[in-house]
Amino acid sequence: MQTVQYPDRKDWDVLLQRPVMDTAALESKVAAILQAVQQEGDAAVKRYAKQFDNVELENVQVSTAEFAEANANLDPALKQAILQAKQNIERFHKAQQEQSQVIETMPGVQCWRRSVAIDKVGLYIPGGSAPLFSTILMLGIPAAIAGCREVVLCTPSNAAGKVNDAILFTAQAVGIEKVFKIGGVQAIGAMAYGTETVPSVYKIFGPGNQYVTAAKQLVNKAGTAIDMPAGPSEVAVLADETCIPGFVAADLLSQAEHGPDSQVLLVTTSLQVIKDVEAAVVKQLQELPRHQTASKALDNSRMILVKDMEEAMDLLNAYAPEHLIIACQDDVMLADKVINAGSVFLGNYSPESAGDYASGTNHTLPTNGHARAYSGVSLDSFLKKITYQRLSREGLQQIGQTIELMAAAEGLDAHKQAVTIRLNY
pLDDT in tens, 271-328: 999 999 999 999 999 999 999 999 999 999 999 999 999 999 999 999 999 999 999 9
Asked if residue 258 belongs to a known ligand binding site, the reply is: yes
Largest CA distance in the chain: 83
Asked if residue 349 belongs to a known ligand binding site, the reply is: no
Cα–Cα distance for residue pair 67/70, rounded to 1 Å: 5
Cα–Cα distance for residue pair 30/43, rounded to 1 Å: 17
Asked if residue 186 belongs to a known ligand binding site, the reply is: yes
Q: What is the pLDDT of residue 209?
A: 82
User: pLDDT over 70 for what percent of the chain?
Assistant: 99
Cα–Cα distance for residue pair 173/422, rounded to 1 Å: 55
- Assess whether pLDDT exceeds 70 at residue 30: yes
- pLDDT grade, residue 417 (50/70/90)? very high
Asked if residue 209 belongs to a known ligand binding site, the reply is: yes
Asked if residue 241 belongs to a known ligand binding site, the reply is: no
- Assess whether pLDDT exceeds 90 at residue 374: yes
- pLDDT grade, residue 99 (50/70/90)? very high
**Contact present, 141 and 357 (Cβ < 8 Å):** no
**Contact present, 394 and 108 (Cβ < 8 Å):** yes
- Assess whether pLDDT exceeds 80 at residue 22: no
Q: What is the pLDDT of residue 261?
A: 86
CB atoms closer than 10 angstroms to residue 63: 10
Asked if residue 96 belongs to a known ligand binding site, the reply is: no
Asked if residue 410 belongs to a known ligand binding site, the reply is: yes
Cα–Cα distance for residue pair 208/375, rounded to 1 Å: 18
pLDDT tens digits, one per residue of 40-63: 999 999 999 999 989 999 899 999
CB atoms closer than 10 angstroms to residue 396: 16
Q: What is the pLDDT of residue 232?
A: 82
State mean pLDDT over 323-340: 97
Domains with residue ranges and CATH for the chain? 2-16+232-360 (3.40.50.1980), 23-226 (3.40.50.1980), 392-423 (1.20.5.1300)
Q: What is the pLDDT of residue 129?
A: 66
Asked if residue 323 belongs to a known ligand binding site, the reply is: yes
SS3 state at 115 = strand
- Assess whether pLDDT exceeds 80 at residue 230: no
- Positions annotated as catalytic residues are 322-323
State mean pLDDT over 99-116: 97
Beta-carbon contacts of residue 202 (< 8 Å; ≥ 6 apart): 118, 119, 120, 121, 224, 225
State mean pLDDT over 182-188: 96
What pTM does this model have?
Answer: 0.93
- pLDDT grade, residue 127 (50/70/90)? confident
Question: Average per-residue pLDDT in the chain?
Answer: 95
